[in-house]
Amino acid sequence: MPRNPSSRRSRTRTNGRCCPGSFSGNTILPGAPRRCPLTTHVPCFTPCSTMVCCNTTPSRKIWWHGQRSNRSGTVAFERRQATRITSARHIAMLASVMKKQGTPVVLVPLTTSIHAGHRALVRAAQRIPGALVIVAIHPDVDCTPLIDARVDAIFTYTDAELWPSGPRTLVNSPLSQAAGGAGAGVPVTRIMALLGIIGPTDLVLGEKNIRQLVQVQQAITDLHYPVVVHEVPTVRTSEGLPVSNRYADIPPADHDKAVAVSASLIAGTYAAQDGAAAILVAAHEVLAVAGVEPDELALYSLMLGPAPESAPEAGDARLVVSATVGGVCITDSVRVVLGAKPH
C-alpha cells in the first residue's frame, strides 16, 4: 500500500528513528499503522517495526506486537500477574515502555531455588512506589513463590539468551580475584548483562553475598550505568544463621559450628565500642570455643577495600568471616560502627 504523504508531518522522532504516527487519547493521528486495542492509553513512541500500547492503570493490559508481517506474535502483559517472559527483546521493550511513562522499573536477579531471603528482596522491590518489579531467574527454578508474591514479570533466561555469541566478556575486579576460581566473575557479569538488556531504574540485591553486591555497585559506578542499587539486610533464622541454600548442605553434626560462625559476628558487634582490635579478638574467641578455624576474619571498609588498611579507626566498617564447615565454605558479614556502643 502506498504511504500516505500526509504521514510525513506526523512522524515522531524517537531514538534516532521515525515512527509513522502515534496514539494520543482515543484519536489516531495520521499515518498510524493500526488501531490500539485499548480504549484509553498513553502515547506510544516505538520503532516502526513494532507497536506497543500501554495503559497507566495497573489493572489494564499492555500489548505489543512483533513485525507487522507477523501479527500472530502478540504478547499481553498485566501488572502483578507474574507474566513469564523468555525473550530478551520483549523484556527490554516492556521496561522501555514503562520507563517512558515514568514508572520505576526494578530488577531482582535470582539464581537458586527461592527461599525467605529471596522473598525479602521481592518485598523490598515492591515497596518502591509504583514500581514495575521484574524478577530474573533461570527457567528450571520453581516460580510459584513469585506468583504468590504477585510480581509483575518473571524473565526466565538462559545463558544463550544473554550471550548469543557466547560469554566473551568478563567483569573482573580485585574482589572477584580474591574469591578465587576460574568463574569468580561470572555472577557479576551475568547481573551486568541483565542490566544491559532490561535497563532498570533500580536494582535490589541482598547483603548476604556482600562481595557480589560491592562488585556490582563498583561496576555500575565505573561503567556509568544509570541504576540505583538497594541493599537488603540478610534474613536470618532464629539461631542467627543466614537463610541460604548453601547452609542446607552442612551436615547436622557440624550445625553448631555453623552457628558459631554467625555468633562470632554478634560478639564482634558488641566489642565495637573498644575499637577494631577488640572486635577481632571477640569474634576469634567465639570461633575458637566452637573449634572453628576461620579461613578469613577481617575488618574492612564498607566497600571492602584491602584489609586491614581500609578499615576506618572510627565509624562504619564491615566485619567478614569465612570458614569451611562440614566441607561447605560459608561466608557471613555484618556492619559495625567502631567506637559506638551496641544498641
CB < 8 Å & 24+ apart, contacts of 110-115: 110/135, 110/136, 110/137, 110/141, 111/137, 111/138, 111/141, 111/187, 112/141, 112/245, 113/141, 113/142, 113/245, 114/141, 114/142, 114/143, 114/145, 114/146, 115/243, 115/244, 115/245
Write down the catalytic residue from 41, 65, 118, 255: 118
Does the annotation count 230 as an active-site position? no
Alpha-carbon separation of residue 101 from 32, 37, 42, 54, 239 (angstroms): 20, 18, 8, 9, 45
Burial class (CB in 10 A: 0-12, 13-18, 19+), 182: exposed
Q: Where are the beta strands (DSSP E) in the chain?
A: 12-14, 17-19, 23-24, 27-28, 51-53, 61-65, 75-78, 83-85, 105-109, 132-137, 153-156, 202-206, 228-232, 296-300, 315-325, 328-338
DSSP output for 225-290: ---EEEEEPPPB-TTS-B--TGGGGS-GGGHHHHHHHHHHHHHHHHTGGG-HHHHHHHHHHHHHHT
How far apart are alpha carbons 242 and 150 in whole angstroms? 25
| Catalytic positions | 118
